[in-house]
């Protein structure tokens, strides 16, 4: 069945076709949004295969709940929320998060470094993936997604102080990993 979409209603028609379980429409929606949603999954996963599992699980939820999407709002933003929640659910299932409450959190002073000249995006992503699920979740939600510590606590079922603690520990671990990965003649630069 060939279906012609009007230019002004492409997204609306695509969503309607996905709700009607048209496989061509589901494939088109998947292919359109794969790069951005996979990037999110990679930040939460330990490796590529795990990220792909999260992405596929997220798309299953997207297709099941597409009728709940509010028209005239950002479809991509809605899809990102579904995928982030799927990643968080996945982390809850995968690991029993062991976190410790800390009453006082000490801030880390950043060195004056031109990190951009020596560190690339893939190196940073690799280091983020090496963090424990608890640290990785808080780091992603706070630094990359913009959630507050209260919101993170509610999402992950932890206290605000645990969220803050995990963020500090994640930043410390990332800094250590990045320093050690660039220790060959570049230690003085970091």
- pLDDT of 10 reads 83
The percent of the chain in helix, strand and coil, each rounded to the nearest 5, is 70, 0, 30
Strands, E assignment, the chain: none
Q: For residue 101, is it within any domain?
A: no
Q: Are 71 and 134 a contacting pair, CB within 8 Å?
A: no
**Domain residues for 84?**
7-94
Q: Both 88 and 59 in a single domain?
A: yes
Q: Both 89 and 121 in a single domain?
A: no
pLDDT of 15-73, one tens digit each? 999 999 999 999 999 999 999 999 999 999 888 999 999 999 999 999 999 999 988 88
DSSP assignment of 13-35 equals HHHHHHHTT-HHHHHHHHHHHHH
Q: Both 15 and 83 in a single domain?
A: yes
Interacting residues of 126 by C-beta distance below 8 A, sequence separation 6+: none
| Tokens encoding 81 | 């929320």
Q: For residue 163, is it within any domain?
A: yes
pLDDT of 82-107, one tens digit each? 999 999 888 877 755 444 333 333 33
Selection from 90, 173, 184 nearest residue 127 by Cα: 173
Q: For residue 142, is it within any domain?
A: yes
In CATH, what number is assigned to the domain containing residue 161?
Answer: 1.10.10.10
| Tokens encoding 74 | 């950002």
For the chain, the average pLDDT equals 80
The residue count for the chain: 190
Interacting residues of 148 by C-beta distance below 8 A, sequence separation 6+: 142
Asked whether residue 113 carries a pLDDT value surpassing 50, the answer given is no
- pLDDT of 125 reads 84
Domain final position from 94, 123, 152: 94
Q: Both 135 and 89 in a single domain?
A: no
Q: For residue 102, is it within any domain?
A: no
How far apart CA 15 and CA 34 sit, in angstroms, is 16
Q: Both 68 and 133 in a single domain?
A: no
Backbone Cα Rg of the chain: 20
Interacting residues of 185 by C-beta distance below 8 A, sequence separation 6+: none
In CATH, what number is assigned to the domain containing residue 11?
Answer: 1.10.1740.10
Q: Please, which pLDDT band fits residue 177 given cuts at 50, 70 and 90?
A: confident
How far apart CA 129 and CA 83 sit, in angstroms, is 17
Domain final position from 45, 61, 94: 94
Report the share of the chain in percent with pLDDT over 90: 48
């Amino acid at each position: 069945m060939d279906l012609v979409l009007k230019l002004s209603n492409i997204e609306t028609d695509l969503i309607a076709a996905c709700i009607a379980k048209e496989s061509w429409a589901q494939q088109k929606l998947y292919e359109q949004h794969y790069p951005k949603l996979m990037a999110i999954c990679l930040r939460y996963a330990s490796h590529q295969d795990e990220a792909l599992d999260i992405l596929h699980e997220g798309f299953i939820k997207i297709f099941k709940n597409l009728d709940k999407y509010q028209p005239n709002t950002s479809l991509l933003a809605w899809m990102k929320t579904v995928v982030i929640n799927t990643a968080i659910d996945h982390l809850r299932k995968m690991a029993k998060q062991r976190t410790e409450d800390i009453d006082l959190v000490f801030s880390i002073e950043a060195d004056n470094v031109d990190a951009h000249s020596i560190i690339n995006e893939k190196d940073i992503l690799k280091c983020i993936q090496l963090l424990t699920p608890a640290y990785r979740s808080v780091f992603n939600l706070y630094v990359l997604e913009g959630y507050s510590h209260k919101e993170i606590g509610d999402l992950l079922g932890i206290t605000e102080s645990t969220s803050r603690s995990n963020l500090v520990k994640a930043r410390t671990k990332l800094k250590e990993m990045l320093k050690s990965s660039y220790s060959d003649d570049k230690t003085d630069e970091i």
